Amino acid sequence: MTQPPPTTSPTRPGISVPDLLVALALTALGIALLLGSFQIPFGINAVVGPRVFPLIISVGLTALGLLLTISVLRGGRAEPAAEEDTDMEAPVNLAAPGIILGGFLLGAAVLTTAGFVIGTAIMYFSVAWAFGERRIGLMAGVALAVALVTYEAFTRGLGLNLPPGFLKGII
Amino acid sequence: MDSLTSLMSGFETALTPLNLLWALIGVTLGTLVGVLPGIGPALTVALLLPVTAKLPPVSAFIMFAGIYYGGMFGGSTTSILLNTPGESASIITALEGNKMARKGRAAAALATAAIGSFIAGTIGTLLLTFAAPAIADIAVQITPSAKFALIMLAFVTISATFGGSPLRGLLSLFLGLGIGLVGTDLQSGQARFAMGRPELLDGIDFITVVIGLFAIGETLYVASRLRKGKFNVIKLEGGAVMSKEDWRRSWGPWLRGTALGFPFGAIPAGGAEIPTFLSYTLEKRLSKHPEEFGNGAIEGVAGPEAANNASAAGVLVPLLTLGLPTSATAAILLAAFQQYGLQPGPLLFITNGDLVWGLIASLYIGNVMLLALNLPLAPVWARLLLIPRPFLYAGILVFSTVGVYSLNNSVFDLGLLALFGVIGYGMRRFDFPVTPAIIGVVLGPTAEAQFRTALQQSNGDFSIFVRQPFTAFLMLCALAALVVPQILKFRAARRAA
């Protein structure tokens, strides 16, 4: 998904492969929903069963997905959104979101065993790293502090149940 | 005057010390998240929903209302001092206000934005006070088929009529509708699209969808294209103040912006973007020195900011009287009502008058608080813009995790959160608006319920949607909202060719 800077015209000839994949994925999702709709029983004693609305939506999604596919095949492509902290001229760095996602899933996977504090500290650390921070000691300290304060505030202050993990009894 | 007596009793509710405290917490939080990039009022209310479950509904909604209005005030600070609009409705403020700030007039730009927001918010709330009960009186008689048609109209205007690409808006809407289908069908008890997962039988919580699409999606997307180097935040010394000359030039735009913004918010027309643009164009045309526009004209900040805030008040009219959200934040508020077992709509004014009027009264109070918070404290809020981004976004992610995990104490939900985060990234990368998806998730189940009730009443006769005059009229409006802009675009393109 290396994308040229958005200064180029959207009507430039040539088919954008990422755009095409997105359009096809949406169409496929529509078809999957359609097949899933047929799995829903008609329902008894109902004029309109639980199947009708899903059918309408899946047909609509499939049709819209096909329309998008056609528009992409004719050279249409999407302009990436501009956000507060983004630089649209900068080269796209896909490693950073990958690190965030990996850190998040790792933190979620160990959340119940290692506990909330460790799990969310891993998430915090990976986001800070992905955003270019490299002072490891500072990051680890802030990550643990934020996780611990959040844990204490939510469990003691608001009475929520968060998993303590192996720190049980200590925090 | 019925509205006045109700409003007075609303003030009695809102002016208790505890509720005043909740209002203060709300407006402070709202300003905070409005200033901070990466997090906005919609996301904040969604994050707070699980933890406010134990509050009395009135207090929770007073706080949410504060967040809703506060987010608007805070957003303008970011636009003016950082030149990066957080939402499309602030584009104009960023354009004109940042030019003013660069000329050393940051204080005046912030002041006209805050005072304009206050005036527009107060007038908007006044209009809401008197319009809402009147509309609710009429809305009681709306049939299920008309209600369905009304939702169709909202779907079309929000996703297709005013967006950049109607096709992408509609795809986003249908994605949201599809997500809303997952889970057990309440009328028949049948599981739909649960894929055999017991976690999905209860449906996908909209909070997970909202936080995934907004917070996680935004974090992933910003990380992929992070702005490098130092932030160009304009320094601000002292509070936000303006001169006599500024006042003279601002009051007209404030009032005209309010007049434009409120109706656009009140009809289901999808957001504050259009009235801010209209207000800007109008002020430029009326100005004696149009050459200043684009170089920091105070009218170009005053008008659009007022329009933005007035439309925020207008959005509450269809939300409270019809249960029809027309912006992402309104959709979250609707879901919040449903979480408390309340259904916004005409009956809410009768069954939960205390709550509704307490909420409306708190809007007046919140506006005053926001003015007091934003004028002298502007430099404090400005300093928030200097928070290092690695720590800011990491914190947003951790709070998102707590919010979603505490819904069901389930790691499965965190997996869903990651999935919606990736979808949210894709939506930003491929230019799909997020709001239609949120509206689809929240309003989809209501749309289906009205659709089925209407058909049950007509014994399965689909002509019910065209036979009743009012329903047919709304359906026609929805069709026109879908087709007319396309025809206009097509004709404009042909003329240009």
Distance from CA of B331 to the nearest CA of A (A): 20
Q: What are the contacts of A135-142 at 24+ separation with CB within 8 A? A: A139/B390, A142/B391
Q: What is the pLDDT of residue A76?
A: 85
Extended beta strands in B105-200, E state: 183-184, 191-192
Among A130, A41, A87, A104, which Cα is nearest to B84's?
A: A87
Per DSSP, the three-state class of B188 is coil
What is the distance in angstroms between the Cα of B351 and the nearest Cα belonging to chain A?
30
Residue B199 one-letter amino acid: E
ipTM of the complex: 0.90
Write out chain B residues lying below 8 Å of A119, CB-based. 401
What pLDDT score does B408 carry? 86
Residue A8 pLDDT: 43
Q: Do A101 and B220 touch (CB under 8 A)?
A: yes
Closest CA to B316 of B348, B285, B282: B348
pLDDT at position B473 is 92
Cα within 13 Å of Cα(B24), Cβ side = 9
- Give the Cα separation of B46 and B329 in Å (integer): 9
Biggest CA–CA distance in chain A, Å, is 65
- A62-66, A122-126, B42-46, B357-361, range with the lowest pLDDT: B42-46
Q: Which two tokens stand for residue B70?
A: 């506060």
Domain containing A99: what range? 95-167
Q: What is the CB-side half-sphere exposure of residue A129 using CA atoms within 13 A?
A: 18
Please name which of B387, B375, B440, B408 lies closest in space to residue A56, comparing C-alpha atoms.
B440
Residues A104, A143 within the same domain = yes
Chain-chain contact of A48 with B452 (C-beta, under 8 angstroms) = yes
More confident residue, A160 or B111: B111
Please check whether residue A79 touches B, CB under 8 A.
Answer: yes
Q: Are residues A67 and A101 in the same domain?
A: no
The verdict on A103 and A66 lying in the same domain is no
Tokens found for residue B209: 């969808």
Judgement on whether residues A101 and A66 belong to the same structural domain of the protein: no
Through-space distance between the first and last CA atoms of chain B, rounded to whole angstroms: 58
Tokens linked to B247: 């006042």
Contact (CB, 8 A) for B223 and B88: no
In total, chain A counts a number of residues equal to 171
Q: Is B230 exposed, middle or buried (0-12, 13-18, 19+ CB in 10 A)?
A: exposed
pLDDT tens digits for B112-145? 999 999 999 999 999 999 999 888 888 888 888 9
Euclidean distance between CA atoms B113 and B309, whole angstroms = 10
- β-sheet bridge partners, residue B192: B183
Q: How confident is the model at residue B269 (pLDDT cuts 50, 70, 90)?
A: low
Mean pLDDT of A68-89: 86
Element of type H or E holding A35: helix A17-39
Q: Count of CB atoms within 10 A of residue B261's CB? A: 33
**pLDDT in the model for residue B259:** 94
Percent of chain B residues topping a pLDDT of 70? 97
Residue with tokens 């819904």: B407
B185 neighbourhood in chain A, CB within 8 Å: 40, 43, 50
Question: Mind telling me how many Å the CA of B487 is from chain A's nearest CA?
Answer: 17
Residue A134 belongs to some domain of the structure:
yes
Whether B495 has a pLDDT exceeding 90, the answer reads: no
Answer whether residue A4 is part of any domain: no
Confidence of residue A10 (pLDDT cuts 50, 70, 90): very low
Amino acid at B130: F
Look at residue B80 and tell me whether its pLDDT is greater than 50: yes
* A45, A83 Cβ separation under 8 angstroms: no
Residue B259: both structure tokens together:
């007049």
Given a contact cutoff of 8 angstroms between Cβ atoms, the answer to whether B363 and B313 are in contact is yes
Interatomic CA distance for residues B88 and B74, integer angstroms: 14
Q: Enumerate the β-bridge partners of residue B6.
A: none
Q: What share of chain B is helix, strand, coil (3-state, %, to 5)?
A: 75, 0, 25
**pLDDT at residue B462 in the model:** 85
Question: pLDDT above 90 covers what percent of chain A?
Answer: 56
What does the radius of gyration of chain B's CA atoms come to, in whole angstroms? 22
- CA separation for the pair A88, A164 (Å, rounded): 42
* A41/B contact by beta carbon, under 8 A: yes
Task: Return the pLDDT at B162.
Answer: 64
Write out the two tokens for B285.
Answer: 């045309």
Q: Going by C-beta distance under 8 Å and a sequence separation of 6 or more, which residues neighbour residue B331?
A: B42, B325, B435, B438, B439, B441, B442, B443
CB contact under 8 A, B181 and A54: yes
Clarify whether residues A64 and A119 are in a common domain: no
What is the SS3 assignment for B75-99? HHHHHHHHCCCCCHHHHHHHHHHHH
Examine the domain organization and report whether A99 and A157 are in the same domain.
Answer: yes
Q: Which residue of chain B has the CA closest to A40?
A: B192
Distance from CA of A44 to the nearest CA of B (A): 8
Q: Which of A92, A109, A158 sits opposite B51 (nearest CB)?
A: A158
Beta bridge partners of B183: B192
> Tokens 């526009």, residue?
B293
The pLDDT score that the predictor gives to residue B163 is 65
Residue B15 makes CB contacts below 8 A (sequence gap 6+) with B361, B365
**Whether residues A65 and A106 fall in one domain:** no
Read off the pLDDT of residues A104-163 as tens digits, 9 standing for 90 and up.
999 999 999 999 999 999 999 999 999 999 999 999 999 999 999 999 988 887 777 888
**Residue B420 exposure: Cα atoms within 13 Å on the Cβ side:** 30
Q: Is the pLDDT of residue A6 over 60?
A: no
Report the pLDDT value the prediction gives residue A31, as an integer from 0 to 100: 96
Specify the range with the lowest mean pLDDT, choosing from B64-73, B133-142, B146-155: B133-142
Distance CA B104, CA A91 (A): 33
∠ CA B139-B140-B144, nearest 5°, is 85
Residue B86 scores a pLDDT above 70: no
**Sign of the CA dihedral running A123, A124, A127, A129:** negative
What distance in Å separates the CA atoms of residue B359 and residue B336, rounded to the nearest whole number?
A: 13
| Inter-CA distances, B472 with B32, B357, B468, Å | 45, 33, 6
One domain, residues A62 and A101: no
Domain final residue pick, A73, A104, A119? A73
Q: Measuring CA to CA, how many Å separate B286 from each of A145, B93, B263?
A: 55, 18, 21
Q: Dig out the tokens for B410 from the structure.
A: 């389930």
Q: Is residue A51 part of a domain?
A: yes
Decide: residue B272, CB within 10 A, 0-12 exposed, 13-18 middle, 19+ buried: buried
Q: Does the residue A151 lie in any domain?
A: yes
- Asked whether residue A2 is domain-assigned, the answer is no
Least CB-CB distance to B167: which of A64, A132, A133?
A: A64
Shared domain check, A146 and A116:
yes
Position A87 in a domain: no
**One domain, residues A65 and A105:** no
Exposure b/e, A108-137, CB count within 10 A at least 16 = b: bebbbebbbbbbbbbbbbbbbbbbebeeee
Quick one: DSSP state of residue A155?
I
Residues A65 and A100 in one domain: no
Q: How crowded is residue A102: how many other Cβ atoms within 10 Å of its Cβ?
A: 13
Residue A7 lies in a domain: no
A161, A115: one domain: yes
Q: Determine the Cα–Cα distance for residues B272 and B257; give it in Å rounded to an integer.
A: 11
Interface with B, mutate which of A51, A89, A131 (most B CBs under 10 A)? A131
* Overall domain count for chain A: 2
**Domain presence at residue A83:** no
CA–CA separation, A77 vs B24, rounded Å?
45
Per DSSP bridges, beta strands B191-192 and B183-184 are antiparallel
pLDDT at res. B87: 67
Residues 6 or more apart whose CB falls under 8 angstroms from that of B28 comprise B66, B70, B373
Contact B220 A97 (CB under 8 A): yes
Mean pLDDT (chain B, rounded): 89
CB contact under 8 A, A48 and B451: yes
Environment class of A75 (CB within 10 Å of its CB; exposed 0-12, middle 13-18, buried 19+):
middle
Average pLDDT over every residue of B61-65: 93
3-state SS, residue A117:
helix
| CB within 8 Å: A61 and B188 | no
Element (H, E) at B64: helix B57-82
Q: How high is the pLDDT of residue B460?
A: 81
pLDDT given at position A2: 42
User: Residue range B8-26: average pLDDT?
Assistant: 93
Collapsed DSSP state (helix, strand, coil) of residue B120: helix
The tokens for B416 are: 């869903």
More confidently predicted of B455 and B270: B455
Q: Say which residues have a Cβ less than 8 Å from residue A156's Cβ, sequence separation at least 6.
A: none
